[in-house]
Structure 1
């Protein structure tokens, strides 16, 4: 089995305060920064997926009314191309610093950041992909040369009260070839 690891950088996420006078803030940029070392029997991460910015929208902290509460997910796509000699297929695993309350979510990763909030990664059916869980890449067989992998990112409250602030997280994904 061969692996390819790529880094995703979720950044510049700010939750709106419920304080008077603050009406909106930038919540929503996720940079997906991808680098790779290519090996035999693999795929390349396409040029259009090398640096992806996902606009997560603007959300008020008061929109999270309890633990587990989430907001509308935001779509992002990772494209693979030049796939060669794939005998069995490709699998993908997302990893990153896990949230202390819910280790299936990405932890917010900087000082002064929002609290009681984390980021969920969802598959194309909007089912959560827990960190560290391997999934099969669909639409890519031995004769396929490319695949578009659709995912979603979503804020999720981890406690009853979300405290506003920046909400950045970093993740990596690993492609495994069998």
Structure 2
């Protein structure tokens, strides 16, 4: 096998919120989903010196809503509409919005499952709806993330709003009822300015060694472990945590990076390790899925850091299929830092 290159890029992470407004309709009532669901960012601390328009590190949550329908709803896509009030776009930030219920000089951005920022569509004469994938009979998945964006001086407190999940003019996501089909979003601004770190090495390329296919004898076998580091400059007593996102498949929540386009090998993936443990992947610090009341976390604490410091990491091949084909491997991840 020829050399594998894994690129890591620094990405500030933040969190956004979702929306829904609809009238009564009930052509169908056959769909069920683990709703209502509350997406909460329990403690948002804004780093000192964070510029207006920047995402707030650690203030991002992803959501996954499985919906099962026994009837084909026909044409239409799953949509989130603000339950009350309206969305307000922000000059110079075309994909960032404020909404009724949001305060504290905070805006939000919605991303789809691929990590692409979403813009609202016109529904019943108002731009207050985010449209996801087409609805269909059987299993459906509504998946995305929201992130918070600093707009000005923060106001301490708890804020939020609700949305409804539906196929416009056809049916609600859960039991044909608006009240049973809500996604609620909330966050708490602590007012504490936390110490942070700046990244000295923004892009890192890691070349893994050439390894024989014979080294991979079963799924889960690993080889080619290679150390590398990410250099930071931290304020005194900063407490960063690191999160990784699979750039090829942002919704990937395993601990194995998928192969990027251009790879010719097969049956393998790449893991990134910290203190000999694979780092979990995810597009957000908090992950809400299914009927889980509390979110899963996808970040790993790096402990207290001060001054110039390095995050000591490793990358390695891992077998993901029973058959392995030789060739070139490439995987790409983005990393983000959040703070306690």
TM-score by length of 1: 0.69
The equivalent position to 1:71 in structure 2, one of 200, 215, 223, is 223
Contact 1:98 1:105 in 2 (8 A): no
Contact 2:10 2:202 in 1 (8 A): yes
Could you say which residue in structure 2 is the equivalent of 1:29? Answer: 5
Could you say which residue in structure 2 is the equivalent of 1:166? Answer: 328
Could you say which residue in structure 1 is the equivalent of 2:309? Answer: 147
CA drift of 1:35 comes to 6.5
Q: What is the rounded CA distance, in whole Å, between the counterparts of 2:311 and 2:229 in structure 1? A: 5
For structure 2, list consecutive stretches of 5 or more residues without a partner in the other structure: 14-46, 50-194, 283-297
- Structure with max Cα Rg: 2
The equivalent position to 1:45 in structure 2, one of 177, 194, 199, is 199
| Structure with bigger RCO (C-alpha 8 Å, 6+ apart) | 1
The count of corresponding residues between Structure 1 and Structure 2 is 146
The equivalent position to 2:240 in structure 1, one of 60, 81, 90, is 90
Alignment of 1:102-141 (within 5 A): 103-111=254-262, 113-123=264-274, 125-132=275-282, 133-140=298-305
CA drift of 1:101 comes to 10
Structure 1 residues 100 and 155: CA distance shift in structure 2, 3 A: farther
Q: Secondary structure at the match of 1:29?
A: strand
TM-score by length of 2: 0.38
More moved, 28-37 vs 144-153: 28-37
Alignment of 1:6-25 (within 5 A): 16=1
* 1:93-146 deviation line (CA, Å, top 9, x unaligned): 1111459999321000215632111001111x2111121321111341xxx223
Q: Secondary structure at the match of 2:281?
A: coil
Q: What is the rounded CA distance, in whole Å, between the counterparts of 1:45 and 1:102 in structure 2? A: 24
Q: What is the rounded CA distance, in whole Å, between the counterparts of 2:267 and 2:214 in structure 1? A: 12
Q: Secondary structure at the match of 2:214?
A: helix
Contact 1:98 1:131 in 2 (8 A): no
Contact 2:265 2:328 in 1 (8 A): yes
Contact 2:4 2:330 in 1 (8 A): no
CA drift of 1:79 comes to 1.2
The equivalent position to 2:209 in structure 1, one of 57, 62, 67, is 57
CA drift of 1:153 comes to 0.5
For structure 1, list consecutive stretches of 5 or more residues without a partner in the other structure: 1-15, 17-25
Structure 1 residues 166 and 39: CA distance shift in structure 2, 3 A: farther
